[in-house]
Amino acid sequence: MIIVQLAGGLGNQMQQYALYRKFMSLGVEAKLDASWFDSAAQRNVYAKRTLELSYFKELPMEFCTADEKKRLTGGTGMAAKLSRKLGIINTKEFTETGMYHDDLLSKKDCYIKGYFACEKYYADILPELRKLYVFPEAVDKTAGEKNEEFAREVASDKETGVTPVSIHIRRGDYLDPENAALLGGICTQEYYDGAVSAVRTAVGAAGKAAPTAKAASEANRSAAAKFHFYIFSDDAEYVQKLHFGEQNEQNTVVYWNNGRDSLLDMKLMSLCSANIVANSTFSFWGARLNPAQNKVMVRPSVHKNTQVYDPAQMHELWQNWILVDPKGRQV
């Protein structure tokens, strides 16, 4: 049996769930362990995590029993820890230490811990995951109405020959000193400017369908911008001061999904034709859940400052993504 530990925020939980489903697709018995959310790791933390996977509608999840977990890990008490140290108990555990582990999917009996951001593990089952991740209705009625309006506006963009582009800017906890050292300085203004240029080039190279009759008949749209940037952030006040693209290209800040409704930003991102993500698993999933065949996805060249950028490895592990470095260069 494979048991995958669930831990961290929603984006990480979705990756762990994706790995769980990947093992199932290989015919391996797999279960999930959600005990981390009630563990010591959650005590005395500023932002306590919850099992946000449960927010999705009827997401199928099978959880392990305490005995099943103990068989693989040897238990959690002091006696178990001592037994492991002395070699009395032989555990079957795996902890992620790199971006990709070639042998991970060959395991059949193991307790697995990690975040598994690299989508090479589960890229082939993304169509299945898109069907499984069914978003809930908005708790806040006003937010729900705005989300419906957003969907109509994006559809109108596409119909009239405008390319809707999502941009995710994460600030919040990334500005804390302990996080800034690890995650800061990656998604710079130069990164976003370079990402916008990369999207413009990619869309131009791919070509777009000619505007519909409706577009041709609307005089006020004849001089409209070719790109509409939808900006998602946990700091709406900050991003209100920014402008992406040409001066005449529309920018819309998405600010209304808060609290329990925050995950609905991910759904809105997935409706766009192109996705510019932060070094955040949340916006990774906004792009991954985008079902468009000709979508354009741009991500930073590294996720953390401790990561050494290896061009060959990154392009192999993140196929179909455009990589842009902190200086705005496509790499």
User: Distance (Å, rounded) from C-alpha 126 to C-alpha 174?
Assistant: 28
Handedness of CA 317, 319, 324, 329 (dihedral sign): positive
The answer for residues whose C-beta is within 8 angstroms of residue 116's C-beta and 6 or more apart is 15, 16, 18, 19, 96
Q: Where in the chain is the domain with CATH 3.40.50?
A: 139-324
**DSSP string covering 173-198, please?**
GGGSHHHHHHHTTSS-HHHHHHHHHH
* Residues 114-164: tens digit of each pLDDT: 999 999 999 999 999 999 999 999 999 999 999 999 999 999 999 999 999
Environment class of 188 (CB within 10 Å of its CB; exposed 0-12, middle 13-18, buried 19+): middle
User: Distance (Å, rounded) from C-alpha 264 to C-alpha 136?
Assistant: 8
Fold classification of 139-324 is Rossmann fold (3.40.50)
Closest residue by Cα to residue 256 from 138, 98, 97: 138
Backbone angles phi, psi at 134, to 5 degrees: -95, 115
Q: Residue 23: what pLDDT?
A: 98
The answer for residues whose C-beta is within 8 angstroms of residue 78's C-beta and 6 or more apart is none
User: Distance (Å, rounded) from C-alpha 42 to C-alpha 36?
Assistant: 8
Q: How far is CA 247 from CA 91, 185, 217, 226, 315, in A?
A: 60, 26, 24, 12, 33
Q: Residue 39: what pLDDT?
A: 79
User: Distance (Å, rounded) from C-alpha 249 to C-alpha 303?
Assistant: 29
Determine the residue type at 304.
Answer: K
Environment class of 33 (CB within 10 Å of its CB; exposed 0-12, middle 13-18, buried 19+): buried
Residue 185: left (phi > 0), alpha (psi -120 to 50), or beta?
A: left
* Residues 76-127: tens digit of each pLDDT: 766 556 655 656 567 899 999 999 999 999 999 999 999 999 999 999 999 9
Closest residue by Cα to residue 215 from 142, 177, 153, 158: 158
Say which DSSP state 270 is in: H
Residue 255 in this model has a pLDDT that exceeds 90: yes
User: Distance (Å, rounded) from C-alpha 189 to C-alpha 27?
Assistant: 45
Share of the chain above pLDDT 70, in %: 88
Environment class of 48 (CB within 10 Å of its CB; exposed 0-12, middle 13-18, buried 19+): exposed
